[in-house]
Chain A
């Protein structure tokens, strides 16, 4: 941070120019070799009908007395993300202790744990959802399982960082007075980490509600399923109301979860 005071050395200046030029070359290379031939000529027309659809949402779709409507779809989305977060918040605890470097003496233990978490984290939840759909059939439950497993990657990483930041004083005091490993965990480690754990789980819940809206695109339940049908049939007024519903749901959840997180910490 401090090297960016006005008196820049010549080598730093040259390096900055090289980096800048490299970024521009990368950008031009990416844009020039991307195949943009799929663009429809009637894009403007489509835009116009979309605009009309968005400005005249299909309000009747909000509640239909029988079956598939917006509120039920949103409720299912909410449920998928609640359950997915809940499952991962518990499943990730052993992973978190595995990956935190102050819980084991050997570097290789925590290192391998961190690597496993990275692999889980980069494995896309959409693919996980497809695999679970094969196992348990299409529907909300496959979505719950996909979110539950995928969230482990990030939650366990955040949890393990919390565990690594634990104050060692209480732990040493307990060990000195002859507490067992389990007692140390219960009375020294857990009280310090639980609020942070809950806060991270809530944060992950905010992410999961966004993910749950797209799981339906591949058939794993939630509001995504009616949305993809509406998109495919170009029913723009219905797309409009569904997007509106998603935005409202996400904003409400963000507000509630943010308020809870501020209260916990």
Chain B
């Protein structure tokens, strides 16, 4: 039982095996094939040039006097973090993690029924699974910060908007990964149970859940990692957490304090990442 390796999962490392080795492509020099290749590259280069002109990308600006002095000043101030400020940010830091925990758990719980509806081996009726998948894809097109910006406008500034944004985001991610895992489970036990007259609920409880549960937990942990990172910047749109303080310090040009926040956030995120990766290894 190995679910198809989704790049999301592959990006995080543990939950799915690495992509299978493909046979090495041979260097074919067949005529039409080569022209097609050439045309593709030409098209690609044209698109790139148009893009560079479009944003008037000025790489010289990056190395200009002004940019260098600005960057140099900021990096210089950031190199000396204001550690005395660290005691002020523990509370928002804890709040950030809490937002991530609450958002992940609520979103993941909501994802379970939808994942079951999406999986074709549980819900063979296309009329249910296809609309369910469409809803899921729709939810997944909206980035977490965008959800947060909208919920801040609706419910006002604060942690609630951030949590709600993460609920939606986790829901989309966990439901998609889980339904793919459910579709990849071993059909043997399900067939045996159907043959001996089990109903749908029994099928799910005794056939699907034991097989899919480790994957589900692994995806929840992965989503939690993503959510902690997201929660750290939700404050930029006013949705609570440490990002609010970071935004304030950046706006008041206190780069030494901003650097303290960034460094501590990185430490917390790395710790959670490593803990979660370790747990996921043990799960699967």
Contacts and interface: CB of A to CB of B under 8 A. Distances in A.
Interface of A: 1, 4-5, 23, 26-27, 29-31, 33-40, 43, 46-47, 50, 75-76, 79-80, 82-83, 86, 118-119, 122-124, 126-127, 130-131, 134-137, 139-141, 144-145, 154, 157-158, 161-162, 164-165, 167, 170, 191-192, 194-196, 200, 203, 210-211, 213-214, 217-218, 221, 224, 227-228, 231-232, 234, 239, 243, 246-247, 250-251, 254, 265
Given A122-B229, A246-B142, A265-B22, 5 more contacts: A34-B163, A82-B47, A141-B56, A247-B141, A251-B137
Interface in B208-245: 210-211, 213-214, 229, 232-233, 236-237, 240
B102 A34 contact: yes
Closest 5 A/B residue pairs (Cβ): A38-B158, A30-B98, A140-B55, A214-B145, A250-B141
A213 B146 contact: yes
B149 A231 contact: yes
Nearest to A42: B156
B159 A35 contact: yes
Interface residues of B, number: 73
Interface stretch (B67-75, B117-125, B195-203): B67-75
Interface in B223-269: 229, 232-233, 236-237, 240, 246, 250, 262, 266, 269
Contact of B98 (A29, A47, A196): A29
Contacts of B52: 83
Interface string B60-83: 011000010011001000000000
Pick the most buried of A38, A134, A165, A196: most chain B CB atoms within 10 A of its CB: A38
A136 B67 contact: yes
Contacts of A36: 158-160
B54 interface: yes
A213 B105 contact: no
B127 interface: no
Contacts of B102: 27, 30-31, 34
B130 interface: no
B7 interface: yes
Interface of B: 1, 7, 10-11, 13, 18-19, 21-22, 24-25, 27, 47-48, 51-52, 54-58, 61-62, 67, 70-71, 74, 94-95, 97-99, 101-102, 105, 137-138, 141-143, 145-146, 149-150, 152-161, 163, 210-211, 213-214, 229, 232-233, 236-237, 240, 246, 250, 262, 266, 269-270, 273, 284
A204 to B, nearest CB: 9
B150 A231 contact: yes
5 contacts: A40-B155, A162-B19, A196-B22, A214-B149, A243-B142
Contact of B273 (A80, A118, A139, A251): A118
B48 A83 contact: yes
A194 B7 CA distance: 17
- B interface secondary structure, majority: helix
Nearest to A143: B55
Contact of A217 (B55, B145, B250, B270): B145
Contacts of A217: 145, 149, 236-237
A244 B157 CA distance: 24
Contacts of B21: 165, 167
B146 A144 contact: no
Contact of A134 (B48, B70, B142, B150): B70
Nearest to A3: B214
Nearest to B51: A79
B84 to A, nearest CB: 22
A154 B13 CA distance: 10
A247 B102 CA distance: 26
Contacts of B273: 118, 122
A114 B74 CA distance: 27
Nearest to A154: B11
Given A158-B10, A213-B143, A195 B157 contact: no
A36 B161 CA distance: 9
